[in-house]
Structure 1
């Protein structure tokens, strides 16, 4: 799965408005379809937004609640 972190609202390249928790939610949805995911870091040019989004994704993989 390529998360496409450049869709974050603070990213300078995309015209999308996703928040970190949105990436966590999408990861949860994928995990409802399959128990195995391969994640690749792709996109994300605002480093703070990237870090928050990756944390949300990993929390979902660990079955922690997405804040």
Structure 2
């Protein structure tokens, strides 16, 4: 079974065109995609979580 794609935070920020500071403000309000912290301290976002987040944003805008 293939592992789910995990994106680096930098990749996520580029895709959603958002600064790191704005992303962390959204995260503090509980409005950002879920982050996964790796043992080395790096952060990842699963592709599925990011896609689901995009869907929620589109539904909220409609």
Which TM-score applies when normalising by structure 1?
0.29
Which TM-score applies when normalising by structure 2?
0.31
Higher strand proportion: 2
- Which of structures 1 and 2 has the bigger CA Rg? 2
Higher relative contact order (CA 8 A, sep 6+): 1
